[in-house]
Amino acid sequence: MMRGTQEDATTRFDPLRPRLIRVAYRMLGSVADAEDMVQEAFIRWMGVDRAEIREPEAFLRRTVTRLCLDQLKSARVQRETYVGPWLPEPLIEEEEEPDDVTLPLMLALERLSPLERAAFLLHDVFGLGFDEVAASVGRDAAACRQLAARARTHVRDGRPRYRVDKARGMEIASAFFAASRSGDMRTLGAMLAADVSFHSDGGGKRPAAIRPAIGFGQVMQVHKALAVLFGKYGSTLLRTCLINGLPGFVTREADGEVQTTALAIEDGRVRAIYIMRNPDKLRHLH
C-alpha cells in the first residue's frame, strides 16, 4: 500500500491544522488538549492510504471529533473533583473569530452531553450538513438533528444577542482595569449591570473565589477587597485583547503570574467578569 511520503502528508495536513485546532478547542475548552488531539489525528493521517481519501479535511475533522468525544468522557470525571469554578482556557484572539463561540457559550456547552456538543458545534457553528455531522459522531442524520435541536435549547441563553464593537469593548476593558486597580469604586460601579456576576478559576493552584459572586452588591464587595490588595501589591497591565470572543485584558500580578480577565458586555454594561488564575491554563500565554 502506497501511503506517500512524510513530507507529502505534512504538506497536506499543515494548512488544515489551525481549523482542526479550532474545532478541538471548542469541543474541549483546553488549548493543550486541542493540540494533543490534532497531533494524534496527524499520526493517524500518517498511517492511512492518503490516495484513497478524496476529502482530507472531512476525514481529519471526523478523526479529531471522535478523539475529542473520547477525551470529553475522561474530562468529565476530572471536572467532578475540580477545585472551585471551572472556566475554559483563555484563548487570545488577534482578530475577531467568524463564529460567535464566546466564553459564556462555551460554559453553556459544558452542560451538554458530548454528542450534543459535537452536533451543535459541527452544524450550528461550523456549518456542516447533518450527513457530515452523522459521519463524524457515528450516529444517523436524524439523530444528529435531534441532538443539535436539544443543544440549541440548552445553550440559548449563552449565545450573545449581539457582539460589542471591538473598539468600544477595548475602551471598556481599559476603563475597567483602571477603576478596579485604582480602587475607584464609583467609576467601577457605574460600569456594572445590576445582575453582574464574577467568576474566577484558580484550580486550587492560586487563590480564587470558591463560588461565583452574583449580583451588583456581591461583586462590588469582591472588588473592594481586591482593590486593597492591588493598592498594596500592584498589578501590571500587559495588553488589552479579545479573550474567547470577549473584551478583556492580560495582567501580571504581584506573585509574578499572568492572569486574564474577560468581560461579557451588554448594553454598554459589564454583565459578567471571568478571571483565569490557574497557572496550568495560562502556560500557552507565557
Q: What does the pLDDT average to over 178-197?
A: 97
All CATH 3.10.450.50 domain ranges of the chain, comma separated, are 166-285
Length of the chain: 286
What is the grid cell recorded at 66? Answer: 471522535
Q: What does the pLDDT average to over 48-67?
A: 92
Res 3 pLDDT > 90? no
pLDDT at 44: 93
The residue behind cell 500518517 is 46
- Among 148, 172, 188, 186, smallest CA distance to 267 is for 172
Tell me the CATH number of domain 166-285, given options 3.20.20.70, 3.30.420.40, 3.90.400.10, 3.10.450.50. 3.10.450.50
Res 201 pLDDT > 60? yes
pLDDT tens sequence across 65-99: 999 999 988 776 667 778 889 999 999 976 545 56
| CB-count exposure of residue 96 (10 Å: 0-12, 13-18, 19+) | exposed
Fold classified for 103-159: Arc Repressor Mutant, subunit A (1.10.10)
Q: What does the pLDDT average to over 178-199?
A: 97
Return the CA Rg of the chain: 21
All CATH 1.10.10.10 domain ranges of the chain, comma separated, are 103-159
Paired sense of beta strands 269-276 and 192-201, if any:
parallel
The residue behind cell 479573550 is 243
- Concatenating the DSSP letter of every residue in 205-240 gives TS---SS-EESHHHHHHHHHHHHHHHHHH-EEEEEE
3-state DSSP percent of the chain in helix, strand and coil, to 5: 55, 15, 30
Cα–Cα distance for residue pair 208/87, rounded to 1 Å? 12
Cα–Cα distance for residue pair 156/188, rounded to 1 Å? 29
Average pLDDT over the chain reads 91
pTM equals: 0.89
pLDDT at 8: 80
The more confidently predicted of residues 154 and 4 is 154
Q: What does the pLDDT average to over 176-186?
A: 97
pLDDT at 9: 81
pLDDT at 172: 97
pLDDT tens sequence across 130-153: 999 999 999 999 999 999 999 999
All CATH 1.10.1740 domain ranges of the chain, comma separated, are 1-81
DSSP code of residue 83: S
Thinking of the domain 1-81, which architecture would CATH place it in? Orthogonal Bundle (1.10)
Cα angle 140-109-59, degrees, rounded to a multiple of 5: 45
Res 2 pLDDT > 50? no
Res 30 pLDDT > 50? yes
